[in-house]
Structure 1
């Protein structure tokens, strides 16, 4: 996704650059005419804009006289914006209303197919009782177990219903959970694919012992269920498969002349069965499978009635040397990195993903000991959330560095790029403020918007600084050059901001299906453009003068040091060949 989006933006900007340098001038020469008389609308707009220019010139003159006040106010706004970021939630991406979602359900192990079918039909009736549901596919046994099922639900288009997808998912979660002995998880369709569960929280918990791992994971699951904001809490460890554990009394077996291999072989043959021979008939070969009759191997107590022959030829019942304990074991023993592992799943309701991951990490640290063999690792969307934020942070730093290098090479200065790039902190005021005001979160699309702002907001400062340098090169005094460059560059700066904001408004409204995911990007760009445009018009000229004063002070300081340095007179040494010639003359 990042590669495709980056290439799209780069190619579009390159094409627009070529058009602006070739096609646009040609069309202007053909169609643009200098009008002597204008209509009422143009006159009214022009008068309004002239008034804005005069007001901006007065404000700029005031800012240049009160430089400390302007810089201090900008710094205070930046610090406040960083404080606002603490109240903004962080997540992988905003859940989108795509008119489809998934319902996973599970019944207790051992239920008959007829009973599972009856529960599935009951869940189906609840599902179709909502008019927003257009269709659904319900099936069981897709994941290697008959007691597990899934429902693929499709809704009517977003424009034809009053209930959002998330609201319907929350309602169905409550209604389906009311069915006795039914475990339900309602999830959105994964946008990254992979065939895995699309839960907000996913942790892989490793441990050396399955029993200890099961006890600790169950305790963690119970604590998460009691914590507000967590729903559909579940693990992939199911200790519901009936099993019989056989404990052999080695001392008694040795006294009776039995060894462990004989006992286990007898149990394996009668309970599990083995192939003992081949039978041929009519050119076909059949395996002869030896096993006890069904009536003699259905119950754990049937193990006590098995007799084996000891080393001295006596027949001994296994009830004399074994103890059978009935219990429940795991259906599947999962492993990760060659360690026994349990995967924890959970969805969120009204809780940001970043805050939830921090809380789960704290509960894991309290539940699992910090000892060898125990380990917790993010998986699924949780892992992608962490990785994406790291990658986007690196991309943001690289974009700032590259833009600084380009500006330094173009302006042939290391100071002016700093002046221009101070527009970036000013943009964060609007970014965090508008995200908090609209209830959006910091996610991968918000970070993409911030990276886009790095290139957009610096363009306005480039217009101001470059034109100011041109006027000063023509002999104009610094303050006069700034007061002349600002109003002249005001119109293209405002036009750039207005067109950018206007283009992002439809995306920010999220009117289409799935638009909720892209809305934070547009909100980020709109907020950054609003504050950076107006603050840049005042702060950047002030900072320009401060850096210019600093540069002049450094030049004067260095010049004084050069003047104070004592002159060193070096006496020219005679050349070697001159000495040689004089000696030869003598």
Structure 2
């Protein structure tokens, strides 16, 4: 190690440039899209859950047809997987359940083979279903924690009419980006509903609007009067008008409304009705109506954040100008990721500032604390290369691992710098102090890094579901420590020497200015 360090110190400027190139290469690897990233780790579940939501007010037969379509596609994939040789003993898929209720179709696929790639299976299922543009919302998830769709935009306005028009405009804007699919929004089209109004005669008879609405519901929907147990279940007995009298809304005028004293009066004498379009649900945020638009992105598409930022940059100003009361915000996992990054930048910067201040007081120098902290970004470099080598996505847990790594590498640098300072205080020349100090601290620094890495290897090799959340953190910590070890033993001594050269340069420059000023002074 010592002969190699001597060569590095003789070429300390080149060593600094080499490590800087490595750092830029790692950042380019991450920023260039060669390394996948996700705010929360995508841990495969034993279940694939799908939901297809159809527009409100549609026939139940449409929901049943969609359920059959989804189940048939799932059964075809089940047959394809179970026919493969490696799944002959243990089938890939055990059960498939499809349920249609109201305007929703729910699908549940249970897998029983641990080595099954449920992510790939989910992609095949979605591709086999083809175009589902007639559906209001489509969601398929294969993970333990459903993060929702990667693209989510939240719009708020005091005009529901503006949001209704905006929903279509946002859909068209997202459709222009390759790889964006399954675009959905939270806007429910208004459905026809009856609006009742009482006449003055109703008040005289003591009839309220609730009385009229309740009796109309009982007549057309029915009133439960009894439950009969049958085959382990309860059968509800409903009383209502015959089917022939429930087919036309106009029959309301012919029905009688019962007063509180038991007498009956014609509906037409006490109330009127009209058919209007009304919303099934109203969502508000800070007293403003809201609209949520979400979409999924395929692997060959652009990053979700880049798509959202492009939409807001290209279309946002026009929307804000066209709809004055409109506000636009990111939502969902993307917003959580941004808030997490902002918090990490703030807290990380504050921590580094405090550490720098404490070391500046201890070392009585501003340059040496900087040397100690140089290993922190190179720990990030090691974490990036580690994720790339092992094929893991960078997630929020990866960032936490980098933070833990920073504490270890700062400790290694402190040990080295303190030893070099001690040797210099004893009268040793700088170059000799660097060589002797690094050699003396070589063994404890390397042993600390190697034992940390080896101790974390069992977690990296763990295959349990619980470990999948910890592995990104462990990869960042272990590889960050190993890469930072080279920084501590090679780059930090080189930077120490480079800093001394810079100090001598400025000292010489200052001395020349003083000498020149002295020469210009008049003699007395």
The TM-score normalised by the length of structure 1 is: 0.65
Name which of 442, 459, 470 aligns with 2:411.
459
Q: What is the CA distance between 1:274 and its match in structure 2?
A: 9.5
Indicate the larger mover: 384-393 or 103-112. 103-112
Q: Which residue of 2 aligns with 1:404?
A: 356
Q: 1:297–1:534: structure 2 CA closer, same or farther, 3 Å change rule?
A: same
Root-mean-square deviation (CA, aligned residues, Å) is 4.4
Distance 1:333 1:148 in 2: 19
Q: What is the CA distance between 1:376 and its match in structure 2?
A: 1.3
Name which of 332, 335, 338 aligns with 1:380.
332
Distance 2:106 2:487 in 1: 54
Residue correspondence of structure 1 range 408-557 to structure 2 within 5 A: 408-436=360-388, 440-508=392-460, 511-513=463-465, 515-548=467-500
Q: Is the contact between residue 63 and residue 104 of structure 2 (CA under 8 Å) also seen in structure 1?
A: no
SS in 2 for 1:98: strand
Q: Which residue of 2 aligns with 1:368?
A: 319
Q: Is the contact between residue 219 and residue 367 of structure 1 (CA under 8 Å) also seen in structure 2?
A: no
Residue correspondence of structure 1 range 209-224 to structure 2 within 5 A: 209-224=159-174
Q: Is the contact between residue 191 and residue 278 of structure 2 (CA under 8 Å) also seen in structure 1?
A: yes
Distance 1:421 1:491 in 2: 21
Q: What is the CA distance between 1:421 and its match in structure 2?
A: 1.3
Q: 1:375–1:180: structure 2 CA closer, same or farther, 3 Å change rule?
A: closer
Matched, 1:132 2:92: yes
Q: 1:243–1:65: structure 2 CA closer, same or farther, 3 Å change rule?
A: same
Residue correspondence of structure 1 range 123-202 to structure 2 within 5 A: 123-124=70-71, 126-127=73-74, 130=78, 131-135=91-95, 139=99, 141=101, 146-158=102-114, 161=115, 163-176=116-129, 184-188=138-142, 191=145, 198-202=148-152
Q: What is the CA distance between 1:383 and its match in structure 2?
A: 1.9
Cα deviations by residue, 1:217-273 (Å, 9 ceiling, x for unpaired): 12322442453332332111122624699xxxxxxxxxxxxxxxxx9657x99xxx9
Distance 2:204 2:311 in 1: 51
SS in 2 for 1:521: helix
Q: What is the CA distance between 1:541 and its match in structure 2?
A: 0.9
Higher-Rg member (1/2): 1
Distance 1:394 1:112 in 2: 53
Distance 1:219 1:300 in 2: 36
Matched, 1:92 2:39: yes
Q: Is the contact between residue 99 and residue 513 of structure 1 (CA under 8 Å) also seen in structure 2?
A: no
Cα deviations by residue, 1:384-422 (Å, 9 ceiling, x for unpaired): 111111111122212322332343344344332112112
SS in 1 for 2:44: coil
Distance 2:409 2:337 in 1: 27
Q: Is the contact between residue 409 and residue 481 of structure 2 (CA under 8 Å) also seen in structure 1?
A: yes
Q: What is the CA distance between 1:511 and its match in structure 2?
A: 2.9
Name which of 62, 66, 79 aligns with 2:11.
66
Q: Is the contact between residue 430 and residue 530 of structure 1 (CA under 8 Å) also seen in structure 2?
A: yes
Cα deviations by residue, 1:553-574 (Å, 9 ceiling, x for unpaired): 778969x989x99xxxxxxxxx
Unaligned runs of 5+ in 2: 79-90, 221-243, 255-273, 519-524
Matched, 1:78 2:27: no
Distance 2:297 2:379 in 1: 31
Q: 1:479–1:290: structure 2 CA closer, same or farther, 3 Å change rule?
A: closer
SS in 1 for 2:187: coil
Matched, 1:332 2:281: yes
Q: Which residue of 2 aligns with 1:354?
A: 305
Q: Is the contact between residue 383 and residue 479 of structure 2 (CA under 8 Å) also seen in structure 1?
A: yes
Q: 1:365–1:275: structure 2 CA closer, same or farther, 3 Å change rule?
A: farther
Distance 1:514 1:225 in 2: 37
Q: Which residue of 2 aligns with 1:53?
A: none
Q: Is the contact between residue 44 and residue 144 of structure 2 (CA under 8 Å) also seen in structure 1?
A: no
Aligned residues: 453
Q: 1:341–1:533: structure 2 CA closer, same or farther, 3 Å change rule?
A: same
Cα deviations by residue, 1:490-531 (Å, 9 ceiling, x for unpaired): 222222222233344454557332655444333333443343
SS in 2 for 1:99: strand
Q: 1:356–1:499: structure 2 CA closer, same or farther, 3 Å change rule?
A: farther
Cα deviations by residue, 1:413-454 (Å, 9 ceiling, x for unpaired): 433211211222333443444445555554312221221221
Q: What is the CA distance between 1:338 and its match in structure 2?
A: 1.7
SS in 2 for 1:544: helix
SS in 1 for 2:45: coil
SS in 2 for 1:91: coil
Q: Is the contact between residue 120 and residue 138 of structure 1 (CA under 8 Å) also seen in structure 2?
A: yes
SS in 2 for 1:199: coil
Cα deviations by residue, 1:106-152 (Å, 9 ceiling, x for unpaired): 234445556645643553454355253444665555xxxx2124345
Q: Is the contact between residue 152 and residue 293 of structure 2 (CA under 8 Å) also seen in structure 1?
A: yes
Indicate the larger mover: 415-424 or 433-442. 433-442
